[in-house]
Structure 1
Amino acid sequence: HFPIEGTPVDSPQQSRLEWHADSHSFLAEKPLLLNPEIDHPEQYLQFDTNGRIYPKDGLSTHQTKRAETTIQVFNQNRQPLVLARKAKIDFFLNNFKIQILNYLKNQEKGPLDHSIFKILFESAFTGLRQSAKPESDYSLLGLNMLDNFNAFFTDRISGEKNQQILTRAYEIFIKQSHFPIEGTPVDSPQQSRLE
């Protein structure tokens, strides 16, 4: 049995329209598991920088219960998943640190223009953007890293100058629509969205 808060449907519905997961009769059961075909997990779940998954802040009591139940039933904080997510986060963080160092080395040679950001950071941001696509492993984490870039990366970089470099690179690649977040398919049903 799937965990629900309401009264279960105990007999077949007469109308085929009521056979869908988003039908009135099934939604009246108040399902406690997120269904990636009709729910948007990114609206319910968030990650910390260690790879653990939590209910998002600001949810209603029922939404929080759904997020918690989904995390618990699918054991989303089991060690192998947390470690794999942390490895993915650390991969991108280390990549950004390397590109910042490369930028600083190039800066020692003389004034730099806008194109140096493209040369140094394009691969890192392309990879990060790619990680948010539904067909990617841990795509919900990828989307969360893009949406919370400062918490995952900028705030974890030491030195104000280094943070400014990364912030500028982010503005060039994400905010100035070189790689817009908008349009990233997030409602495609994929198991990896919940991992």
Structure 2
Amino acid sequence: MRKVNKNLTQKPSSLSRPDLLDLLKKIEADKNLINTDIYRGKYKDEHTQIIREEVVEALEEIYHGKCAYCEQHTYTYIEHYRPKKRIINTHHGGYFWLCYEWSNLVPTCHECNKIGGGKGDKFPIKNKRSTYEDCLWEGKLDLQKCIANQPPLIDENPYLLHPEIDNPIDFLTFEIDSQYQGIALKGLDGHNERGEQTIEICNLNRKELLRKRQESVIYPILQNIKLAFGLLSNQKINTTQFQDLLFAEFEQLFQQVKELKLSFTLLRRTLIVSPSIFKSLVTAQLSDNQQEITQAFFESYFNSIHT
């Protein structure tokens, strides 16, 4: 998960229909009237006659084709951050009035959002849960009160991080999985708080993700560092050239943080927060005789760009 900038006032046209309040009023009486075509933004292109989905396309552009929660490239499923029909383990009937709310729609992969193994209809909160009546003004739905970062919704204090409101790097970090199956997320803000809860809600430490974080981000760095050591050991390069190779690898990592189209950008960014984090996730996976040298060069590079 990474911080995403979405303009909450510039909605796709299907979410700004003039009859939107009338549609939502009907849904109040029957949730089965929630129309997937509207919140996906389905329409026929007049020029090409191709069926397109403007909400899906807008979210794919904003999120670079990645899942809002796990940051893998994915087929885009529209996820309602606040579930639209029910909240499990509660008597709440779901936030049906938010079914077409732009700030409530994020793209996800199937695994992060599936019922049973992912988020599904989970939405635990710390404070009082909002109701339809809380979002009314003089008997009519107030669309300003339906925005995720505005009262009364923001006052619920949800456990699930919202990538457009919260900054995940304040709540999440990484560690080598205890079973050595890959790279795991862990919460920063305390036991059973928002970081840990987000991981649990979306199942963000499933085996597939542990492995892919290692293979996509950590493994290439390790391979290039080991290659440089091999060249030095075989006297194919000198010490200065060895340093240049390591510094080039570190530079590439720092540049990758800016490439938002890459998967797992939060992990890439976390690696460069401090030498100690780099040591725990990368250097620790090298052989004993390579660790001290690699860490010394990384700290030298890190200090050179922070002075």
Deviation, 1:76, is 1.0
Which deviates further from its counterpart, 2-11 or 122-131?
A: 122-131
Whose strand proportion is higher, 1 or 2?
A: 2
CA contact (8 A) 1:154 1:167 kept: yes
SS in 2 for 1:48: strand
Work out which structure has the larger RCO, using CA pairs closer than 8 Å and 6 or more positions apart in sequence.
Answer: 1
Tell me which of 225, 230, 237 is aligned to 1:96: 225
**What is the TM-score with the length of structure 2 in the denominator?**
0.48
Instruction: Give the match for residue 185 of structure 2.
Output: 53
Q: Which amino acid aligns with 2:187?
A: P
Instruction: Give the match for residue 212 of structure 2.
Output: 84
Describe how 1:18-57 pairs up with structure 2 within 5 A: 18-49=145-176, 50-56=182-188
CA contact (8 A) 1:71 1:77 kept: yes
CA contact (8 A) 2:228 2:242 kept: no
Q: Which amino acid aligns with 2:157?
A: K
Q: CA RMSD in A?
A: 2.7
Following the alignment from structure 1 to structure 2, what is the Cα–Cα distance between the partners of residues 18 and 173? 48
Deviation, 1:35, is 0.8
CA contact (8 A) 2:231 2:237 kept: no
Instruction: Give the match for residue 137 of structure 1.
Output: 263
Q: Which amino acid aligns with 1:35?
A: H
Following the alignment from structure 1 to structure 2, what is the Cα–Cα distance between the partners of residues 109 and 21? 56
Instruction: Give the match for residue 128 of structure 2.
Output: 7
CA contact (8 A) 1:17 1:23 kept: yes
SS in 1 for 2:302: helix
Deviation, 1:17, is 5.3
Deviation, 1:130, is 3.8
Q: Which sections of structure 1, spanning at least 5 residues, go unmatched? A: 181-195
Instruction: Look at both structures and tell me which one has the larger radius of gyration over its CA atoms.
Output: 2
Deviation, 1:165, is 2.5
Q: Which amino acid aligns with 1:136?
A: L
Following the alignment from structure 2 to structure 1, what is the Cα–Cα distance between the partners of residues 166 and 213? 22
Describe how 1:178-189 pairs up with structure 2 within 5 A: none
Aligned residues: 169
Following the alignment from structure 2 to structure 1, what is the Cα–Cα distance between the partners of residues 136 and 255? 41
Following the alignment from structure 1 to structure 2, what is the Cα–Cα distance between the partners of residues 130 and 75? 29
Q: Percent identity?
A: 24
- 1:146 matched to 2:272? The reply is yes
Describe how 1:87-126 pairs up with structure 2 within 5 A: 87-88=215-216, 89-106=218-235, 112-113=239-240, 116-118=242-244, 120-126=245-251
Following the alignment from structure 1 to structure 2, what is the Cα–Cα distance between the partners of residues 80 and 47? 15
SS in 2 for 1:52: strand
Instruction: Give the match for residue 186 of structure 1.
Output: none
Whose helix proportion is higher, 1 or 2?
A: 1
Following the alignment from structure 2 to structure 1, what is the Cα–Cα distance between the partners of residues 242 and 194? 45
Following the alignment from structure 2 to structure 1, what is the Cα–Cα distance between the partners of residues 286 and 228? 12
Tell me which of 286, 298, 302 is aligned to 1:157: 286
Following the alignment from structure 2 to structure 1, what is the Cα–Cα distance between the partners of residues 250 and 223? 13
**What is the TM-score with the length of structure 1 in the denominator?**
0.71
Instruction: Give the match for residue 195 of structure 2.
Output: 67
Deviation, 1:105, is 4.2
Deviation, 1:16, is 6.0
SS in 2 for 1:163: helix
